A and B are shown apart, each in its own frame.
Chain A
Amino acid sequence: MRSRRSKANLSLILFVLPAFILYLLFLVIPMLKGSYFSFTNWNGLNKSYDFVGIKNFVEALRDDHDFRSAIWFTAKYVIFAVVFQNVVALLLAMLIESRKKGKGFFRTIFFMPNMLSIIISTFMWVFVFSKVIPALSEYAALKFLDLSWLGDPNVSFWTILIVSLWGGVGTLMLIYMAAIQGIPQHLKEAAIIDGAQPIHMLRYITLPLIVHALTICIFLTLNSSFKVYDLVYALTGGGPGRGTQVITMNILEEAYQGNNRYGYASAKAIILFLIILVITMIQVSIMKKREVEA
């Protein structure tokens, strides 16, 4: 019996080994090393460094003005991005699912941006904001469009949201569409016979029965919004100044662009990890309770 079990374990280990080696080398070891370096003042180049305890964490959270404003900017972005993306994706999914014709057509249009690299599609938007919209505001005398879309941090915040909505909605829409298709037909029919208006359908049938999709989609958007980088990099580069700098940019700046404070950057990265971990854990555990079986 014993040898049979050890034989099973041996075969398990052999099957898992290739994946496990890759995983160990590129995920686990970097994670462990990063956690360790976050307690040091290593600059990434020298052989020697000192162990400084929690000094990096204290400095990041208490004294680092740029990091704090990056956290604040990211938090603001996360709140708006999560709400906008999910509301629009859900709206689109419901509108498209309630149609008889043109489902594939609209689905393709709204999903298309998800094909393109964020960098590449954001450069298209840079063109729109720097050339097309100024021309529009001049040509059609649409004075309200005459804003510094990429140059004023307060306006750029909304610019970033407009572009992130454009690129982020497609995947969520597909998930919501699949969830709506999963609602049993007899429930919808019964509600219609009872004279339910669209708004009642949404409140009492659709929303309660797609909570599982909401859980996933909000988790995905929280996760990706906290990690936002490419889009802000290509749109504003974090500027002007550090006006639109997000957490990930601040970490990169600390680690590479001149600062070379690897240890300190690692501490900031661990802080980002903990923020995402705690917030998504809370979100998932709250929403899991509200999921129902159809």
Chain B
Amino acid sequence: MSKRIYSVLSWAVLLLLAVYFLFPIYMAIVNSFKTQSEVYRSVLGLPTSLHFDNYVEAFKKANMLRSGLNTIIVTVTGIVGIVVCSSLAGYKLSRTRSRLSNWIFMLFVASMLIPFQTIMVTLTKMARDLGLQGTPFGLGVVCAGLGVNMAIFLYHGFVKGIPRELDESASIDGSGEWKGFFLIIFPLLMPITFTIIVLNLLWLWNDFLLPVLLLNDYRNYTLVLTINMFFGKYSRDWSLILASLILSSIPIVLVFAFFQRWIIQGITDGAVKG
């Protein structure tokens, strides 16, 4: 009997929470297809006809193409930088057992506790001095710098599971350590590389504060910044705003649909391994 009550109760709780989770998304989608006056007349109802103009207008007015491209530049630069630099460092730090390597590793790990707000003021200035402020590429480089510590931590843990004999075969035949690393070791790191790509993709694609501080020209804005500016400009025009919110979320939702299994794996690995 109590088993039955438990099962009914668990259903009720799950469904209730599912409603809470889907509600804002459902409301946003439904109202994005209404005309402006329809939104004000009946928020709760279904649209009388599918009004796609909002999407076309949002796409043009918010410059989605340009900001989308900027976002891609930031994300790709950041991820490539993080993966290349961290795989090299994480692998070597894990393999070398010396006081020096211990020290360097501890430095990287300890810095993971630094809140972004503690460094943002001087980081912005540093980026300006190095000529990295104001461009998506520069932002990507800065992001790589902020992301290497976590990636090194993950690579360092993963490398322990790779037999040391493979290191020798990677360097023994005269191809040199570096070539050996990229040809033999790096492919073996693929599972954790994928995790790192996914975790950083979510961060870089959606980040707000760092781009705000480093990109001052709206032509260089990422998607999130553009939407933020767009919201300020058209905040009364809800159907247009909602269409822009949905439009800008589509790329990352598609990524999720394709890579769902790896994303879930990535997050659980990122949290518990290392």
Interface residues of A (CB under 8 A from B): 5, 8-9, 11-12, 15-16, 18-20, 22-23, 25-31, 33-34, 37, 44, 88, 91-92, 95-96, 98-99, 106-121, 123-125, 127-128, 131-132, 135-136, 139, 166, 171, 174-175, 177-179, 197-198, 212-213, 216-217, 220, 226-227, 229-230, 233-234, 247-248, 251-252, 255, 262, 265-266, 269-270, 272-273, 276-277, 280
- Contact (Cβ within 8 A) A131 B238: yes
- Considering the chains assembled together, what is the distance between the CA atoms of A192 and B270 in angstroms? 33
- Contact (Cβ within 8 A) A119 B145: no
- Contact (Cβ within 8 A) A132 B14: no
Residues on A with C-beta less than 8 A from B144 are: 22
Interface residues of B (CB under 8 A from A): 2, 6, 10, 13-14, 17-18, 20-25, 27-28, 31, 39, 42-44, 81, 84-86, 88-89, 91-93, 96, 98, 100-101, 104, 107-108, 111, 113-123, 125-127, 130, 141-142, 144-146, 148-149, 152, 177, 181, 202, 205-209, 223-224, 227-228, 231, 238, 241-242, 245, 248-249, 252-253, 255-256, 260, 264, 267-268, 271-272
Take A197-B2, A216-B271, A216-B272 as given contacts and tell me if A9 and B100 are in contact as well, using a CB distance cutoff of 8 Å.
Answer: yes
CB closest residue in chain A, given B256: A115
Residues on B with C-beta less than 8 A from A198 are: 6
- Contact (Cβ within 8 A) A12 B96: yes
CB closest residue in chain B, given A113: B21
- Contact (Cβ within 8 A) A115 B249: yes
Take A18-B85, A120-B245 as given contacts and tell me if A30 and B122 are in contact as well, using a CB distance cutoff of 8 Å.
Answer: yes
Number of A-B contacts (CB under 8 A): 251
For the complex, would chain A's binding face be called helix, strand, loop or mixed by DSSP majority? helix
- Contact (Cβ within 8 A) A127 B21: no
- Residue of B43, B89, B91 near A132 (CB, 8 A) is B43
- Contact (Cβ within 8 A) B272 A212: yes
Q: How far is the CB of A172 from chain B (nearest CB, A)?
A: 9
- Contact (Cβ within 8 A) B119 A27: yes
- Considering the chains assembled together, what is the distance between the CA atoms of A222 and B44 in angstroms? 37
Residues on B with C-beta less than 8 A from A233 are: 208
- Contact (Cβ within 8 A) B148 A119: no
Q: How far is the CB of A43 from chain B (nearest CB, A)?
A: 11
- Residue of A108, A121, A266, A276 near B121 (CB, 8 A) is A266
- Considering the chains assembled together, what is the distance between the CA atoms of A71 and B27 in angstroms? 34
- Contact (Cβ within 8 A) B14 A30: no
- Contact (Cβ within 8 A) B248 A120: yes
- Residue of A106, A112, A119, A166 near B228 (CB, 8 A) is A119
- Considering the chains assembled together, what is the distance between the CA atoms of A234 and B245 in angstroms? 13
Q: How far is the CB of A17 from chain B (nearest CB, A)?
A: 8
- Considering the chains assembled together, what is the distance between the CA atoms of A265 and B123 in angstroms? 13
- Contact (Cβ within 8 A) A117 B224: yes
- Considering the chains assembled together, what is the distance between the CA atoms of A116 and B98 in angstroms? 43
- 27 A-B interface contacts by CB (under 8 A): A9-B96, A12-B96, A12-B98, A12-B100, A20-B89, A27-B145, A30-B120, A30-B121, A30-B123, A33-B125, A34-B119, A34-B121, A110-B17, A112-B21, A112-B253, A117-B207, A118-B208, A119-B208, A119-B224, A119-B228, A124-B245, A127-B27, A128-B24, A216-B271, A252-B117, A272-B118, A273-B115
- Considering the chains assembled together, what is the distance between the CA atoms of A96 and B11 in angstroms? 10
- Considering the chains assembled together, what is the distance between the CA atoms of A177 and B267 in angstroms? 11
- Contact (Cβ within 8 A) B119 A123: no
- Considering the chains assembled together, what is the distance between the CA atoms of A91 and B81 in angstroms? 38
Take A120-B224, A124-B28 as given contacts and tell me if A269 and B121 are in contact as well, using a CB distance cutoff of 8 Å.
Answer: yes
